[in-house]
A = this chain, B = another copy of it.
Amino acid sequence: MLAEIITIGDEILIGQIVDTNSAWMGRQLNLAGIAVKQITSVSDDAAHISEALAAAQKRAQVILITGGLGPTKDDITKFTLAAYFKMGMRRDAETLAHVESFFKRSNRPMLETNIRQADVPDGCTVIQNRNGTAPCMWFEQGGSIVVSMPGVPFEMMYLMDEEIIPRLKQRFALPAIHHRTILTSGLGESFLAAQIADLEDALPSHIKLAYLPKLGQVRLRLSARGEDEAALAAETDLHAQAMMSRLAGHVVIDRDIPLEKALIDQLKERNLTVSTAESCTGGYIAHLITQHPGCSAVFKGGVVSYAAELKQSVLGVSAETLARFGEVSEETAREMASGAVQHFHTDFAVAVTGIAGPDGAVPGKPVGTVWIAVASPNGCVARLHQFNSKRVQNIERSAAAALTMLLNELRSAQN
C-alpha cells in the first residue's frame, strides 16, 4: 500500500523552517508496512494544493496532509479541501467544546478566530486533536483516503501514533517491511561496496541495499519487503551478519540508532559513567547524549571549556601545557579528558579541542584540526583529525568521531 505526504506552507518553500514532519511520518508509516511514494511541499495556495492532491491520489491510496490549519488568514487547508471534495462547511459541536475547554484549561480568553477552528468540511470524519485546537480531518472518496493534520510536530505525532496509523492498520492488510542498518566507520562508500560486492549481488530481489554516507561514516541499509515480518527479519539478519563479519573492525553499531544512544545503552548495561570536556564542539556532544531519556544513569555532565581559563579552572589542564603546546594539541586533549574523569568522577570521559573555523587557524594548525582524547580505566588515548573548512560540519564530524572513539574504547575496555 502506498501513501504520500503533502506538507503545506510557504515557510517550507522559502526555507524558513526545515520539514522534519515528513521524515518522522515516513519512518512511522514504513514501520507500519506502508511505503511512502512521494513527499510534496506546496505553498499556501488553493489551486496548488488541489493540483498536488489530485496528482498524489493518482499514485497512492492514502494521502496525509500537514499544515495550514491554524486560526489565521494564511491557513486555507480546510476550505481548500471542502472545495476539492465539493463539501460545505459546518460547525462541529464536539470540536467547539474541545476548543472551549482547551482555552479554559490554559486560562486564556477565546477569540472568534478560535471558535472558527471548529468549522469543518461537512462530510469528513473529525478526529479530535488532544494537543491543540485544530481538528484532524479524515476524508474518503472511493477507495482513497485523505487525512489533514496540523503541522505542529507534537500535535501531528500524537495524531499519527494514536489515531491515523491504527485506523490504517485496521483498514488495510499491510505488507511487512523490514529495515536493518549497519553503521560503519573508516572506509569510504566505494571501498565498502567493493568489499561486499559479491554479498550485494547475492541479495534476493526483495531485499535492497543502500549506502548512506554521513559525517565521515557510512550506513548500510538493507530493506526487505514481503509478507511475514519475522521471516523477513530472519532473512535480512543472515545477510547483515555476512556483511558484518566481512567488514569486522569497521562496524560501529549493528542497528539504526544514533551513536550516542548506543553509547548510553552500552554504558548502562555495564553500569559505567561518562563525562565530556568540550572545546570546539561547544556542548554538542553533551546535547546529543542528553536528548535521550534515561541518560542521567550514565552521564554525569561535562564542561564546555571554550575559553582557556575554563580548561585550567574546571578541568585542571596545566598552564604550562597550554603555553607550551597550545589549546589545540594532543597534550591539552589528554589533560582535558583525564581532568574530566578525575573532577567529575566518571569511568570514561571524552575531550575535544580543535579549530572549528572559520577563524582561529594558526601556523601548522589549519581550520578543521581537531584532537580528540578518551580517558578510560585503561588509560588515555588521543587521535588527531583533519576535517574541513566548514564550522558546522566540523562540529558534527568531531562529535561523531568522539562518540565512535568512546564506543571503541568501551569495547576495548571490555576485552
Contacts and interface: CB of A to CB of B under 8 A. Distances in A.
Pick from A131, A256, A304, A345 the residue with the most CB of B within 10 Å.
A304
A289 interface: yes
Contact of A304 (B71, B304, B388, B393): B304
A184 to B, nearest CB: 13
Contacts of A52: 38
A370 B71 CA distance: 29
Contact of A15 (B30, B44, B111, B114): B30
A157 to B, nearest CB: 8
7 nearest interchain CB pairs?
Answer: A282-B290, A15-B27, A283-B286, A283-B283, A15-B26, A301-B306, A39-B41
Given A40-B40, A304-B276, A304-B290, A23 B15 contact: yes
Contacts of A249: none
Contacts of A263: none
Contact of A113 (B17, B44, B193, B289): B193
B12 A26 contact: yes
B48 A43 contact: no
Interface string A357-398: 111100000000000000000000000000010111101000
Interface in A148-164: 152-154
B290 A16 contact: no
A190 interface: yes
Contacts of A12: 22-23, 26, 39
Interface string A91-103: 0000000000000
Contacts of A408: none
A11 B212 CA distance: 8
A194 interface: yes
A314 interface: yes
Contacts of A285: 283
Interface of A: 10-20, 22-30, 35-44, 48, 52, 55, 70-74, 108, 111, 113-114, 131, 152-154, 179, 181, 188-191, 193-194, 200, 208-214, 219, 221, 223, 256, 276, 278, 280-287, 289-291, 293-296, 299-307, 309-310, 313-314, 343-345, 356-360, 388, 390-393, 395
B13 A24 contact: no
Nearest to A45: B37
A16 B212 contact: yes
16 contacts: A10-B210, A11-B221, A12-B23, A13-B35, A14-B223, A16-B219, A19-B23, A38-B42, A38-B48, A39-B40, A282-B290, A282-B291, A293-B391, A301-B305, A307-B344, A313-B343
B38 A14 contact: no
B395 A291 contact: yes
Interface-central residue, A41, A71, A276, A390, by most chain B CB under 10 Å: A41
Contact of A282 (B55, B286, B344, B357): B286
Contact of A300 (B212, B309, B359): B309
Contacts of A36: 13-15
A190 to B, nearest CB: 5
B209 A74 contact: yes
B30 A359 contact: no
A10 to B, nearest CB: 6
Given A23-B18, A26-B13, A303 B306 contact: no
